Structures are given as C-alpha cells and as structure tokens.
Structure 1
Amino acid sequence: MKKNKYYIIVGILALFLLSFLKTEDTSDRFEIGKNLDIFTELYKEVNRTYVDGTQPGDLMKTGIDAMLESLDPYTVYYPESDIENYKLMTTGQYGGIGARIRKIDDFVVVGEPYEGFPAHKAGLKAGDVILKVDGNSVKGKSTSDLSKILKGNPGTSLTMLIQRPGKEQEFEVTFKREKVQIKSVPYHGMLTDEIGYIKMNSFTRNVSKEVKDAFFELKENKNFKSLVFDLRGNPGGLLHEAIKTVELFVGRGQKILESRAKISEWTDTYKTINPPIDKEIDIVFLVDGGSASASEIVSGVMQDFDRAVVLGRRSYGKGLVQVTRKLKYNTSVKVTKAKYYLPSGRCIQAIDYSKRNREGKAIKTPDSLLAKFTSKNGREVLDASGITPDIIVDKKKYDKVVIALLSNNLIFKYATEYVLKHDTISPANQFKLDDADYNDFVAYLNENEYDFETSTDKSIELLRKKAKKENVLDKIEKDINLIEQKLMATKKEQIIQQKKHIKKLLEIEIATRYYLQKGKIQNNLSDDRDIEEALKILSEKDRYKTILSGE
C-alpha cells in the first residue's frame, strides 16, 4: 500500500512538471527531465531508507511547498484536501455550515453566522461555544482544524454540542451542510440623498453582475447622482471579473490592460467589449493596503483614465497574474504566468521576486527608483508601488490598549454579555452606546484580566534582570513593584482616554449580533474618515473635476 502511495505521489510531481514541458525549449526539457529523474531516485531512496520512516504524502507536500515558495507567494500547490478552500477563493462557494468561527480559550466559538445559511437557520448565535461535533470533543482544536471538520459535501449531516452563554444546559443542534455562497457585494445603499455606496469584498465569479444589480437598485432612487465604490480590504480574485467591472463605467473599445508573459500565447491585450451602464456618473474608489490584484486593476484603470477619484491609502502592489492548471488525483497548481500593465503603461507590482537580498528576502522597489507615467489628462502616476490614491487619508491607528482588548476577545465577550441583557437595539446605522453603557464595559474589564506590554514594561524587566545580576534586587524590589502598580493604573486610565475608538468597536460588534454582516457595515459607515472625505469630494463638484483634470 505504501509503495502504491509512493508511485501516486511521484506521478503527481511528474505531471506537475511535465504539464509545462510543451511550452519549454529543448534545453529546458532536458534539464527538467534530468532533475525529475534525480528527484525520483532521491525521494524513493529516502522513503525506503530513512531510519524513523516517513509519511510520503507529507514529505512530498513539504518539498513542493518549499520549491514553489522560492518563486513567489502566489504560486501554490493545492492537494485534494485543500480543494474546498480553493473553490472558496475563486467562487465564494464551499460546502459547510455558513459561519465565521474564532478561538477563545480552549474552544472554538461561533463568531458570526451568515444570514440564510445552515448555522443561522439552526439558530446558532455569535458566542456559542462548540463543544463536540458528531460526538467527538473539539477541545483544543484550532479554527483551521475545526473548519476542515465543519466543511463537507452539501447534503451531509452533522451534529454539534453547544454551550450558550447565559444558559446552564448544553444542547445539540443537527443540520445539513449546504452550498454556502458568500456574497462578494455584501452591502449597497444610499449614504446621502444623492450619494450611493457599494461594498465589494472580493472578485469571485459573477461579482460584476452583483455590482451591476446593486447599481441599478441604487438608480431606483431618483436623486442618485454619484457613487462611493469601496474596495478596501479586497484582496482581488478573478481577472475577467475585474475587466467586467471596469466595463460597467468605461466606454466600449478602450484598451484597459495588457498582460505580458514568458509564453507568447499567454500575452494578452484586454479591451472593453460590453456597453457601460454609466460612463458619466462621478465615482470615488476607496482603497487601502489590503486592496490587491483585481482591486488594483479596477482602481488603477479608473485612475489612468481619469474616470474616478481614488481615495484612501496606498494599495498592496500585486501586478501579477496567475493561471490554475488541474493535475491528476484531484489536485491543482496555481502559477504566476504574467505581469499586467495598466493603460498608462505602468506595472504596479511592488516586490521583485526575482531579486533577493542576502537573507533571501525579495526586494521592494524603493520610492526613489519608481518610474513616472501619466494618466489620460496628464496626471503623474507611479509604477512598482501599488495604486497611490489621489487623496490620501491617514490610516486609523489603534493604541496598544485597544489591540489588547481585541486580541483578548474582550470586546467580543462583552458584546455577548450585552445581548443577554438587551432583546433589541436601534437600527444598525443609528445604534450608539451611551456613557452608562461604556461605564458598564469598564466595570466588566475590571472583573476580567487583560494586559499589554509597553516599552516601560520592557525597561522595568531589564532593570530587574540587571539588579539581580548585580545582587541589588532585594534592595530596590519594593520600589520596582510600586512603579509597576502605578504603570498598571496608568494602563487602566487609557481605557478612558481611548473611549472613542473602543466605543466604536463595541458598537460595530454589537450591531453585528442583531443585524449580522449588513449591520456591521452600516454601523461602521457612521464613523468612517474615508467615507467622510469621499462625501466631501462628491459634494464639491469643482474640486472633483479639478482633481481629475490634473490642474
């Protein structure tokens, strides 16, 4: 059996390498064939001889991953066990229960059920602790481990043992897995009487249709005159969906993208084919460091054509295109096949993976070496650095105390307590905590341990070590303890100093409990600096035109 498994695994590697031989020249074919022979013999010998025995599948996966990692982070091998995750990335679909999960203490808990899917329909709530699945304890398992257990073929059943905060008795829930389709456009609506909003989370299959449908729903409002298109945190996805999204707002026959590949057949020029739904409406695209790949294609094309204002923070800088090739045994490989170039001629890839420093780390192009290109109206745009917004809004920075509350799940846990005491809240876009609510949260923190390390803490710890080494610790330890007590009191004061930020995070988490993902987005929009700036620009028509004119 082990021998058969060995031949299957070597066969996968051979297919992986040989699948590209048709496009290589003769010298490459010889080199690949030679090294494949060497690897086959080495792999067989190691598995036959190694003293402690091996797991052939794990050993091969390690070897493949290390080989591909030396190229770039986007060239990835997907074994059969990871195919569900791959489907989720490309289609937004997977078989499962439809819920976010998170680890708290020894157990995984429900973080957020998706509306309309099995977990939600079965009555599961955020904060529910998952004790067992199909009779097996899941104590100590990671979110990744449990996710693999919960995912499966649609129609298959599972039973979960749940401990719900506020209830003494544990209870079981049995339901069937379904095909879960995560919406790539989770929300759209009107920000003001005249300004609409569309949020896109990823470029999965048919997302351009979701955008189109959302846009036409907004147009049902007769006062709808301009749009905020939110690509923040959108990591990208399917190239053709990015092109279709651009087509919605740009005239036909426009060259919007060129991909340049090692293999000439894979070098393509992309033009808009379909008629736009609106090529005149004023648009502000929101981007940040989490906007990558397809998000950068859309925002970058709009910037190069001076079709929309881009606002936020510099995007990630991924100007590479991947192709997925199916292999035998239900495996596949995603390979970087090309770099893409925007209408201005720039490639926004920020990291050059072909060049590495002495530590083997890929090099990012320094700002001083960035080449300059021009937009349609002559505005300066840069290559090799992602998309630099026309209007830069500083990133919201959280104090260490806020990060400590998040990492210790105290905001999440308090929201669970809040729901137990309140049957309903006001609409998500209006919901706010008052001072009494915040004081209740502070009291809750006093009953729960949390801490975070400051540079002062590090200095005190260093002082202790040096004092101990010099045999004077016993003489100054009381003074050190007193300083630590005062430092802890100062940390607690920061809960009051950071009230605005903490209060908003609490409001978002609580709104999510009652109104799910739409509620989260709606509440967040009520205090968003990017949104505030976008509304100003779209309300000041002369300023909007001046930005795009390059004057």
Structure 2
Amino acid sequence: MPGDRYFEIQKNLDIFATLYKEVNTYYVDDVNPNKVIRTGIEAMLQNLDPYTNYIPEDDIEDYRTMTTNQYGGIGALVGKRNGRSLIIMPYEGFPAHRNGLIIGDEILKIDGIEVANKTSTEISRLLKGQANTKVNLTILRFGNEKEFDLEIKREKITIDNVPYFGMVSDDIGYLKLQDFTTDAGKEVKNAVVELKSKGAKKIILDLRDNPGGLLSEAVNVSNVFVPKGSEVVTTKGKVTDWNKSYKALNNPVDTEIPLVVITSSRSASASEIVAGVIQDYDRGVLVGQRSFGKGLVQATRPLSYNSQLKVTTAKYYTPSGRCIQAIDYSHRNADGSVGKIPDSLKVAFSTKNGRVVYDGGGIAPDIPVERSYLAPITLSLVNKSLLFEYANIYRLENEEITSAKEFSLTDAEYDKFVKWVNTKDYDYTTKVESTLEELKKVAEKEKYYNAIEDQLKELQKKVSHNKESELLKFKNQIKFMLEEEIVSRYYLQAGIVEASFDYDPDITESIKILNNTAKYQKLLSGN
C-alpha cells in the first residue's frame, strides 16, 4: 500500500536524523557535518547503481564542464609525470598553444603559487577561471635551465567532440568522436560533409573509449546516417509519463555510403545507442570489441542549497527492442568490459534484415578484433614516462619531421633509444613471472615446495626477463608507441591519430572490410 511505503520512508528519515544528532552530541571527537552526511549520501547511492551520484554545490562547475565540454581556461591538458606538473597536450588554436606552450613544459607556479605538491585536479582549478581574466605561469622548458614567466588571457574553451577527421586512403574517410556533449551531431555532420568533399566514398566512425553523454546528441549523430523519422532509441522507467521514443528529426547526410563503426570495451551509453542503431538497421558494420554495456539513462534533479542529484531514471532500448545494459554492472574485467554473459540470460532480437542480435552486456561487433596486448616492458616504459621523456629529447634534437602519416623511426634511431633507456632505472614483472611466484607461495603453504623446487627454479630462470632482449623482442610495439609520442610533439592530437593508421588493428580491419564490397554486403544481408 502507498500509505505503508510513505510511513516507512518517514520512519527511516527520522531514524537517520536522530542518529546523527546523537553522534554529533556524544561522539568523542568533533564531527564534520558536511563530511559525515556526504559519506552517508554516497553510501546510500552506491547501493543503487554506479551512475546515480550526488553533486554538491562545490562540484557543480566541474559537472557542467563535463556535460558541455566548455570552461574558462588556457586550453591545455595538464598532468603529472614523475612528480612534475607538465603540459601533456596544448589544444590547437587556444591560448596555451597560441602563447607558445609545448608538450613537456613544466608548470612551476600559477599566479605565484608553487604547484609541486598539488594534485592535477588542484592545478586544473588554479588554471581555470572566467574568460578574459589573466593567469601568470612560471614555466621550465625541457632542455633549458632557466625558467620564464608567461601571462596568458583565459578564454572560453570548447573542446571538440570530433577532435580529428581526415582521409585514411584515397576513398575512405575517418572521424573520431570522443564525446556526446552539445553539438556532437552537428560536428559529425560537418565532418562527413567535408570528408565527402575530399573524395570519401566510405566512412569509418571511431567510437572507441567514448563514454557517452547527451542522449539527444546520440539521436543527432545517428540521424547523420539514418533517414528522417527513423526510431533511434526508446526509454522506459518507473515514471511512465517520462517514457519516450526518440526519432531522427532531420534530413540525413547520407543513408547509403558504406559505413564502419569501431567500438571498444569502454564505448558506453550514447556510443552504444549509435552503434546499436547502425547495427539494428543494418546501416553499417561494427568492428572492434564488445561495448561497455550501459543501457541506463540519467536525469539531473535539483536539490536544496544548489546541489543536484544525477539519478538513473530509465533504461534505453535500441530499434530492435533490446536493452544492452550489462546484467551485473557492478562487476567488470580490468579493462572495463563486462565479460561473458551466460547464453541463458540473453534474449535474441532481429535486425532489419533478420540478423540475430542479443541484449545484455553491450553491443557485440560484427567483426571482433582482439584488443591490443601491451607487453609488460611497454607498459613499464609508458608508466615511467620514458617514452614521453625521450620524445622531448627527440624534439629538441630534430627541428622538423616528415608528415605524421609517413614518419617512422629508422633502426639506427631506435637503437639510439635503446641505449638511452638502458641507462634508466625501470623494472617490471611479467605475468608468467608473477604466476610462478604465486605458485611458489602456494607450494610452500601446502608443503609441496621441496618436491618441485628444482623444476620451479629452472622455470623461473627460463622466463626471467631481460630488458635489453625484450626491447628487441617487442621492438615493433615499442617503436610504434614511441613514434606516436614523437609525432605529437610536432602535430599534436591530429598527429597521434594519423600516426596510428598503419598500425591500428581496428582501423586496418575497418579498411579491409570497406574495400571488400561483397563481404560487406553479405555481412549486412542476413544471409
């Protein structure tokens, strides 16, 4: 009965309030009301789902930045590398870039405040401010001993949803969509129109690692490729008045151009709506990895004292009728993927051409591509920022390079890197080594170690890594990642994307299927 439910709500709120009063009055130490109540609120919401969150007044501006991709600042990504606060990427055309800041510049002070012991979040807040206000930075440039001061006028920074689009071959256009904030649909539309004007007869839409965003922009992006009036997504929740079917409202750019959509295990929410629409209408081929599996819709509700609640209000359903929400969204693999969903928990649906697709656990690609495996030595070089540092050295020694697409390190240049990195202090443990170490511990615990000691030591000797030999064994992988770092010093974000075209397995597979018209059409025909 509704009356009983309201009584239980009131009773428990009363218990919570009186409990807090007692704790505040009698607890041995002073209790911070903001901290204690926030902990209680967050613990309550964690019991629901990972996407229902409390946003206090102090965090509203950060939340607004996240949903709009707009803020007042200098236009640069700043991060920590070996304890130093560095410019990781200046965004092209914005104040940091125009004022000459480059990747690797170390920020020592912001408006006279030393930042050595501050977190990246604290530094970001110091850099942000109202547009047209000035911020003074003290910078130390890599390769220089003398620091210098730089005054930069903040601007309204709008980060593009489409940071890159271009041609991967004579007739294949590529665009990277990294967010679904305001104008994502317009940016995709403009990119496709521009690519077609450059001769694109086929399109690759890259949604990898795109966390999603505004549902309305998922509709707009889908609308670029599907006809006006097509159903894109349906939402259903407890409040039936909020249930809604969203349709494509505009004339599409192109409903026939061959299309590949690339997804990864971190393509979520709005990304999955777009991928699901393209798959359900047999509008294009999906390549890559199974998507994240977030089929939930959030709405923001105002609370007292300028705080807000982001609350899950509905589940969304793709045109075929499936909800791709992972059945258990609280337990995931290390890479963010949902793992294998038992067949007994899946329900079959049909695409427009009769192909069978399933709900639960994300969108499965039509052409799976195994996620790239990074060797432990490569991960160590990345985590220790050694590739980052060597790219700075290379830039200091080489004023210019060829185009990002053509750039490649010679064997002699790679050997020079190997000699340099061998002077650095870094180490790592391979998975085989850690497994053998675990086996040793279990054997000792269960009293088997003496019986297998000789064999175990022989195995450990055989698999014990040698850094110098592994720099050669995994040369292609390390060389590729080093080339990306180096290219970014000359061509920024666009350079990183273009440098990956020849080595990226997802892009390589996408090009292959687009160039095989018969296979492309057969995949979508349902036969």
CA distance in 2, matches of 1:543, 1:61: 55
The match for 1:155 among 125, 132, 150 is: 132
Aligned to 2:250: 274
Aligned position for 2:101: 124
In the alignment, which of 497, 519, 536 is matched to residue 473 of structure 2? 497
Give, in angstroms, the shift of residue 334 of structure 1. 0.7
TM-superposed deviation, 1:152: 2.7
Report if aligned partners of 1:95, 1:153 keep a CA contact under 8 Å in 2. Answer: yes
In the alignment, which residue of structure 2 is the partner of 1:518? 494
Whether contact under 8 Å (2:50, 2:330) holds in the other structure is no
Q: Cα gap change, 1:316/1:482 in structure 2, threshold over 3 Å: closer, same or farther?
A: closer
CA distance in 2, matches of 1:159, 1:118: 12
Going from structure 1 to structure 2, the CA distance change for 1:226 and 1:481 (only over 3 Å counts) comes to closer
What amino acid does structure 2 have at the position aligned with 1:429?
K
Contact 1:351/1:363 (CA < 8 Å) preserved in 2? no
> Matched residues in 2 for 1:61 and 1:27: separation?
28
| Larger CA deviation: 418-427 vs 446-455 | 446-455
Select which of 72, 82, 86 maps to 1:105: 82
> Matched residue of 1:324: which SS?
strand
Query: What is the alpha-carbon distance in structure 1 between the residues aligned to residue 424 and residue 209 of structure 2?
Result: 32
Q: What residue in structure 2 maps to residue 8 of structure 1?
A: none
**Equivalent runs, 1:228-247 vs 2, <5 Å:** 228-247=204-223
- 1:195 lines up with 2:172 in the alignment: yes
Q: What is residue 418 of structure 2 aligned with on the other side?
A: 442
Residue in 1 that maps onto 2:118? 141
Checking the alignment, whether the CA contact within 8 Å between 1:352 and 1:363 is kept in structure 2 is no
TM-score, scaled relative to structure 2: 0.91
**Greater mean deviation of Cα atoms: 370-379 or 30-39:** 30-39
In structure 2, the residue matched to 1:451 is: 427
Contact 1:157–1:176 (Cα < 8 Å) also in 2: yes
Instruction: Give the distance between the partners of 1:147 and 1:161, measured in 2 at CA.
Output: 15
Residue 536 of structure 1 aligns with which residue? 512
Residue from 31, 38, 53 that aligns with 1:76: 53
Taking a change above 3 Å as real, the CA distance of residues 455 and 285 of structure 1, as seen in their structure-2 partners, is closer
Quick check: 2:502–2:508 contact (8 Å CA) kept in 1?
no
CA separation of 1:54/1:210 partners in 2, compared to 1, >3 Å: closer, same or farther? same
Contact 1:353 1:363 in 2 (8 A): no
TM-aligned CA deviation for residue 151 of structure 1: 2.5
Q: 1:481 to 1:140 in 2, by over 3 A?
A: farther
Matched residue, 1:549? 525
Contact persistence 1:75–1:335 (CA under 8 A): yes
Change (3 A) 1:199 1:466: closer
2:238 is the counterpart of 1:262: yes
Residues 461, 220 of structure 1: alpha-carbon distance in 2 compared, 3 angstrom cutoff: closer
2:482 maps to 1:506: yes
CA displacement at 1:543 relative to structure 2: 1.2
Match for residue 388 of structure 2?
Answer: 412
1:321-340 matches, within 5 Å, as 321-340=297-316
Q: Equivalents in 2 of 1:354, 1:420: separation in Å?
A: 46
Whole-angstrom distance in 1 between the partners of 2:200 and 2:431: 51
1:490-516 deviation line (CA, Å, top 9, x unaligned): 232101111101111011111111111
* Separation of aligned partners in 2, 1:261 and 1:456: 47
Q: Deviations over 1:370-402 (max 9, x none)?
A: 111111111010110211011111111011111
Q: Is residue 351–residue 364 contact of structure 1 (8 Å, CA) maintained in 2?
A: no
Q: Does 1:177 align with 2:147?
A: no
> What displacement does 1:285 show?
0.6
**How far does residue 153 in structure 1 lie from its aligned partner after superposition?**
2.7
- Distance in 2 separating the partners of 1:406 and 1:531: 23
- The aligned counterpart of 1:424 is 400
Deviation at 1:456, TM superposition (A): 6.3
Which of 61, 65, 69 is equivalent to 1:92? 69
In the TM superposition, what whole-angstrom CA distance separates every residue of 1:444-485 from its partner, at most 9, and x where no partner exists?
11111110013565588789999999xxxxxxxxxx999999
Write the letter of the residue equivalent to 1:78.
Answer: I
1-side partners of 2:435 and 2:273: how far apart? 47
Task: Judge conservation of contact 1:97–1:118 (CA < 8 Å) in 2.
Answer: yes
| Unaligned runs of at least 5 residues, structure 2 | 333-337, 446-455
Query: 1:376-431, CA deviations, whole angstroms, 9 ceiling, x for partnerless residues?
Result: 11101011021101111111101111111111111111111111111111111111
Match of 2:197 in 1: 220
Map of 2:453 onto structure 1: none
Alpha-carbon separation, structure 2, partners of 1:386 and 1:124: 41
2:433–2:464 contact (8 Å) kept in structure 1: no
Amino acid at match of 1:192: S
Which residue pairs with 1:311 in the alignment?
Answer: 287
Q: Counterpart amino acid of 1:30?
A: F
User: Which of 362-371 and 311-320 deviates more?
Assistant: 362-371
Unaligned runs of 5+ residues in structure 1 are 1-23, 357-361, 470-479
Residue 532 of structure 1: how far off its partner (Å): 1.6
Q: Report the 3-state secondary structure (helix = DSSP H, G, I; strand = E; otherwise coil) of the residue aligned with 1:40.
A: helix
What one-letter code is carried by the residue in structure 1 that aligns with 2:412? A
Specify whether residues 240 and 421 from structure 1 end up closer, same or farther in structure 2 by C-alpha distance, changes over 3 A only: same
1:49 Cα deviation after fit: 3.2
CA displacement at 1:116 relative to structure 2: 1.8
Hey, what's the Cα distance between the residues in 2 that align with 1:141 and 1:374?
53
Paired residue secondary structure (2:429): coil
Identify if the C-alpha distance between structure 1 residues 36 and 507 changes in structure 2 by more than 3 Å, giving closer, same or farther: same
Which stretches of structure 1, 4 residues or more, deviate above 6 A after TM superposition?
A: 459-469, 480-489
Amino-acid identity (%) = 48
Q: CA deviation at 1:55?
A: 2.1
Q: CA deviation at 1:34?
A: 2.8
Can you list the C-alpha shifts for 1:254-311, whole angstroms capped at 9, x where unaligned? 2222111011111111222222121111111111111111011011011011111111
Distance 1:481 1:173 in 2: 58
Other-structure match for 2:142: 165
Of 378, 390, 393 in structure 2, the residue corresponding to residue 402 of structure 1 is 378
Give me the whole-angstrom Cα distance separating, in 2, the residues matched to 1:54 and 1:96: 36
Say if 2:82 and 2:384, in contact at 8 Å, map to a contact too.
no
CA contact (8 A) 1:311 1:390 kept: yes
Secondary structure in structure 2 of the residue aligned to 1:518: helix
Match of 2:367 among 382, 391, 400: 391
TM-score by length of 1: 0.87
